Every structure is written in structure tokens, then in C-alpha cells.
């Protein structure tokens, strides 16, 4: 059984920074993709950033230049460094893992950007 555990959400002022972490445990296929999604109130869930085993990252346009996704393959972990946060970044952020054709989700962590 695969589990994803996130940490690092919270309340931050506009322009501030947060770092989200997600650790995966269980039977995980070596070659996989990890990602961060977010869902704001009243909006659909959207892909924020994605990273593969080769390290090639993808970012949604709205976070390019502000967010950085990285991973530690040995620890089956993925991170999201979020800088220059804006109020529109407020959402529940969820960790995602695609492994051997199956997808797994974390429980989500709240990020609130407000003064």
C-alpha cells in the first residue's frame, strides 16, 4: 500500500514563501512521476508542477518563475518551494504520485496567502 504524507502548508503574507514536502512510502515503482496539484474554493483542481525521474519539470504558467519543484528519488520525496506568493495561490495543495500505472494522492495541505 502506498501512502503520501504532506507537510509545510500554512498562512503566509503576500510576497512570502513556503516549502511543501511530500514523502511517499510503500511499494513504489522505481520510474515514476510526482506532482503537486491545488484546488481553490469554487474552482477545479489544477496541476501546479510535475517532475519525472529524469528531473524534467513542468509548471503551470501562473507559477513559472515563482515556484520550484524538486525531488529526492532515494527518499521518494517531492518538494515545492513557493516564493513571491500571491492571494490567488490560496488553495489546498495535494501531492500526486504516478507509479506503475496507478495514481496516488496525499491528503492535502492548506496554503493561505493573506495579509
Query: What pLDDT shows up at residue 56?
Result: 81
Question: CB count, 10 Å around CB of 9?
Answer: 19
- What are 112's three cell numbers? 493561505
Query: What pLDDT shows up at residue 30?
Result: 74
Query: What pLDDT shows up at residue 32?
Result: 86
Query: What is the residue whose three cell numbers read 507537510?
Result: 7
| Mean pLDDT per 10-residue segment, the chain (115 residues) | 93 98 87 93 96 89 97 92 98 95 94 97
The DSSP string of 34-101 is EEEEEE-TTS--EEEEEEETT--EEE-GGGTTTEEEEEEGGGTEEEEEE-S--GGG-EEEEEEEEETT
Amino acid at each position: 500500500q502506498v501512502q503520501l504524507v504532506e507537510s509545510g502548508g500554512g498562512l503566509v503574507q503576500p510576497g512570502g514563501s513556503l516549502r511543501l514536502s511530500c514523502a511517499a512510502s510503500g511499494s513504489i515503482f522505481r520510474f515514476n512521476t510526482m506532482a503537486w496539484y491545488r484546488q481553490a474554493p469554487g474552482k477545479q483542481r489544477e496541476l501546479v508542477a510535475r517532475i519525472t525521474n529524469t528531473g524534467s519539470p513542468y509548471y503551470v504558467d501562473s507559477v513559472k518563475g515563482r515556484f520550484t519543484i524538486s525531488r529526492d528519488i532515494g527518499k521518494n520525496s517531492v518538494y515545492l518551494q513557493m516564493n513571491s506568493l500571491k492571494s490567488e495561490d490560496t488553495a489546498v495543495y495535494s501531492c500526486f504520485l504516478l507509479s506503475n500505472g496507478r495514481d496516488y494522492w496525499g491528503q492535502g495541505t492548506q496554503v493561505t496567502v493573506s495579509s
